[in-house]
Amino acid sequence: MKYMLLIYHDEQSWDAITDAERQQVYLEYRNLRGELESRGQFLSGSELQPITTATTVRVRDGKDLVTDGPFAETHEQLGGYFLIEAKDLDEATSIAARIPSARTGTIEVRPLVEHAAEAAA
d(CA 26, CA 34): 12
Instruction: Answer yes or no: is 32 within a domain.
Output: yes
Q: Which domain holds residue 67?
A: 2-116
Residue 101 lies in a domain: yes
Question: Do residues 87 and 1 make contact, with C-beta atoms less than 8 angstroms apart?
Answer: yes
pLDDT of residue 106: 94
Q: What is the pLDDT of residues 11-26, one digit of tens each?
A: 888 889 999 999 999 9
Give the C-alpha separation, 80 to 96, whole Å.
13
Tell me, yes or no, whether 121 lies in a domain.
Answer: no
Q: Count the domains in the chain.
A: 1
Q: How far apart are CA 13 and CA 34, in angstroms?
A: 26
Q: What average pLDDT does this structure show over 89-114?
A: 95
> Does a structural domain hold residue 9?
yes
Is residue 110 within 8 Å of residue 4, measured between CB atoms? yes
**pTM recorded for the entire structure:** 0.85
